[in-house]
Amino acid sequence: MRGRRGVLGIAAVAAALSCIGNFPVHAQRAAKKAVAALPCGGEEIARGSVGRVLDGRTFVLGDGREVRLAGIETASLSAGASDGPAGDTAARDALAKLIADAQVVLRKAEFASDRYGRVSAYVDVVQPSPQRSVQAELLASGFARVGDMVGEGDCAAELLRRENAARSAKLGLWADPYYDPLPADKPAEILARRGRFALVEGEVVSVHPSGATLYVNFGRRWSEDFAVTIRKRNERKFTTAGVDPHGLSGHRVRVRGWIEARGGIAGSPWRAPWIEAARPEQIETVGRNDARVAR
């Protein structure tokens, strides 16, 4: 049985879902203009009609090809359900409302397909008009989070802006506190999300190189506290994007990715939670009001 928090979260999500496509006229016009300028995706790789929606970020084209929305992650409706396709009813319904029976254009993502052979793309609805970005609308309505493999910096910045606005307004999944950024100084809470995609926020205590890895530490107990790892071979990606990992010490940051756990001493029951950051868009510096891409 879900608790009061889960019930409230579900109610808020349902209310947000009912609003998709029903914004005031002036808001629709502003949104259309912004979405049309979304700097995501490369050349057109395909277009066609939508057959059916499989989950919150996967659908089937009329010709049978499965398409995976690039650059975002969807999630379960509340903490009472497991993350993944079986639990993302709200995101699936939101996606279906956007693209059911629509004509869509697929634009090239950095990775052309995933390990299951699904086409990975940025997707625009072109009919019925006006043209609009599926990823942008899911983020703006709170039914998706920016993923850990966006690619192009301007695209990542715009998607993060939309996510941050939805989170501030408590739209969609953000109505449920389960999806709030986890506090970096509470490693047990982070560890409880092992194997799941999450946001973690806190102040960086130190940055320490060790072998082929940079450790961005959020605590002084390396064997227990949360850390972000950056492989030195990827460091150039960060510096090129204007992110200096060594300069993060003393700054409050928000990081996104999949929660993993480092093994401890043989026989020890503890594990230290961590996220591997392979791309600069996974890290945001947090200002007084919200966050910006660390670049």
Compute the distance between CA of residue 120 and CA of residue 246 in angstroms, rounded to an integer. 33
pLDDT at site 128: 86
DSSP 8-state class, residue 181:
P
Q: Residue 23 is encoded by which pair of tokens?
A: 């914004």
pLDDT at site 137: 94
pLDDT at site 269: 57
Compute the distance between CA of residue 46 and CA of residue 61 in angstroms, rounded to an integer. 10
Q: Any idea where the domains of the chain sit in the sequence?
A: 4-175, 181-293
pLDDT at site 117: 81
Compute the distance between CA of residue 177 and CA of residue 79 in angstroms, rounded to an integer. 9
**Cα-Cα end-to-end distance for the chain:** 44
- List all residues 6 or more positions away from 222 whose beta carbon is below 8 Å from its beta carbon: 215, 272
The structure tokens 């994007």 sit at: 241
> Closest Cα partner for 55 from 5, 91, 105?
91
pLDDT at site 244: 92
Q: How many CB atoms lie within 10 A of CB 261?
A: 15
Determine the 3-state secondary structure of 224 from DSSP.
coil
Domain 4-175 in this protein, CATH class: mainly beta
CB 146 within 8 A of CB 163: yes
pLDDT at site 58: 93
Compute the distance between CA of residue 191 and CA of residue 185 in angstroms, rounded to an integer. 12
pLDDT at site 18: 46
Q: Phi first, then psi: what are they for 236, rounded to 5°?
A: -65, -35
pLDDT, averaged per 10 consecutive residues of the chain (295 residues), comes to 40 44 41 53 90 92 93 67 54 91 90 81 90 93 91 85 95 90 96 94 95 94 92 91 91 95 61 92 74 44
pLDDT at site 97: 92
Please tell me if the domain spanning 4-175 has the same topology as the one spanning 181-293: yes
pLDDT at site 89: 84
| Helix (H), strand (E) at residue 20 | none
Compute the distance between CA of residue 253 and CA of residue 244 in angstroms, rounded to an integer. 13
pLDDT at site 91: 87
**Distance (Å) of CA 293 to CA 18, 158, 284:** 31, 10, 4
**Distance (Å) of CA 188 to CA 153, 174, 223:** 32, 22, 12
Q: Residue 133 is encoded by which pair of tokens?
A: 């970005």
Dihedral angle over CA of 136, 141, 142, 146, nearest 10: 0
> Closest Cα partner for 244 from 210, 274, 204, 212?
204
Sign of CA dihedral 87, 290, 165, 244: negative
- List all residues 6 or more positions away from 9 whose beta carbon is below 8 Å from its beta carbon: 77, 78, 173, 175, 176, 177, 178
Compute the distance between CA of residue 210 and CA of residue 213 in angstroms, rounded to an integer. 5
The CATH number of the domain covering residues in 181-293: 2.40.50.140
Compute the distance between CA of residue 225 and CA of residue 231 in angstroms, rounded to an integer. 19
Q: What is the DSSP string of 195-241?
A: TSEEEEEEE--EEEEETTEEEEESSS-TTTS-EEEEEGGGHHHHHHT
Global pTM value? 0.79
pLDDT at site 163: 95
